[in-house]
Structures are given as structure tokens and as C-alpha cells.
Amino acid sequence: MEGETILTIEFETEPTGVVAELLPFVGDGGSIEVDNAFYVEDGEWLESFTVASTEEVDLAARFEEVSGVSVFYTQSIPSGSAGTHLARAVVFANEPYPYVLETVLRRHAIPNRLVVERGTVSVIATVAEWDDFRDLADDVEEKYGRFDLLKVNETDRPGEPLDSGRLTDVLVSKFSDHQIDVLETAYTMGYFSVPREASAQEVADALGIQQSTFSERIRTAQHTLFELIFSTR
């Protein structure tokens, strides 16, 4: 009911299923985020993942090495961060029991974020009551061997479910690769910081383009971004 206090919790546990089998391919510095997941039937899920790795990974080929997975779609995502490779995959996967996302849902919790890195699953979820929190904690501890609580906060608003309004999807669909590269590189280097940490020339050099080209692309990208934000207001 409106005005009632609910709980946002963050915890870690052991990885299982598809993400556990995919982890060795992304390396110690990589991560796998479950963007969205829908249960189909008989243990099969339709899932989308964002994979970050220190080396470029052929996701379609890697998923072929994971049993029970049928690849629907893969896509590289431009990244301005040096040494970071991003890719998106949509798959049908037979997740073995137990599966942490299923455990969260069965305990009437809303999964807000689920990411795997350094051999650990980190989950952010919203539960309605303290009893739901305790039941979820006990269930995770029993099924996965550990429940490490990182944070619990009382709030009056539930967290957004997985994949709600992801900016990455908007960028990929609305911006050109050049625009995404320019925006992300400029942001990473501190071009938008106050005070500014990188000049237009420095960002242009990092991108391997002329300063005039950078200026044109950054203005076009900013115009597109502002249209996305303000055109529906």
C-alpha cells in the first residue's frame, strides 16, 4: 500500500547455471550482468546478458560450449573505456535448479540487479516485509551455501525490475557507433567534469580524429541526447 515501508537489500552468494559456466571466458576482470529474464517452461528461460571482458569474446561461440543454451542474438556494444569489451546476448537457457533468480522471485522479491564478477553473484532486490527478507535469506543460505548481506535499507519506493529503462538500449538504438564512442570516451576522460579534466584536443587524439570532427560529433550526440530527454516532456 502507498506510504508503507519496504526493503531494498543487497547480498552476495555463489553463482550457478549459465553465468557460472560463462565466467571463465570473461576473465578475472570481467563481469556478466543479467539484464532481463523471463521464464518460459520446463526450466527454460529467455535471458539477456551484458558481458564485460578485458579481452574480446565471441559470445556466440562461447555459448555453444555451454550445455542447454540456444543463442538467439548477440551484439558488440561500443565502449570508450580502454581495455574493456562489451557485448549483449539474448539466449534461451535451461537453467538448472536451483537458480538464484528463480529463488528471488519465489520469495516474492523484485530483482533489481543481478551481476556476476570475481566468482560471486551480487543481487539487489526489493522485498515487501522483514519476514520476506528473512525467508529469502534462509532460502539462499540453504540452496547456495552462503548469504552474505551487504546492505539493507528501508524505503517507500520499490526498485525498478531488471532492464527497466536501460540507457544502454536507448543509446544503441538511437545513436550511431561514432556518437556513442565520442560520448563515452569524452565522459571517461573527464571532458564533462567540472573543472574539465581533458580538452577537446586530448579526447580527439584518444579517438584518433581531428578536433573539428570531435566537436561536430559531440554537438550532434548532445543534441540527440537532449531530444531523447526533453522531447516527451
Question: 69 forms bridges with which residues in the sheet?
Answer: 93
pLDDT value of residue 195: 80
Rounded Cα–Cα distance for residues 122 and 133 (Å): 16
- pLDDT tens for each residue of 97-145: 888 999 998 888 999 999 998 889 999 999 988 999 999 999 999 999 9
pLDDT on residue 193: 79
The whole-angstrom separation of Cα 38 and Cα 55 is 29
**What does the CA dihedral 216, 221, 224, 225 come to, rounded to 10 degrees?**
-140
Edge-first strand order for the sheet with 69-77 is 69-77, 85-94, 44-53, 31-41, 110-117, 120-127, 6-13, 148-155
pLDDT at site 80: 52
Question: Could you read off the pLDDT tens digit of each residue along the chain, which spans 233 residues?
Answer: 444 678 999 999 999 888 888 888 877 778 899 988 888 778 889 888 888 887 777 888 888 888 888 888 888 876 656 667 888 888 888 888 888 999 998 888 999 999 998 889 999 999 988 999 999 999 999 999 999 999 999 887 776 777 654 545 555 566 777 887 888 888 888 888 778 889 999 999 999 999 999 999 888 887 777 665 554 44
- CA atoms of 232 and 29, how far apart (whole Å): 39
Q: pLDDT value at position 30? A: 84
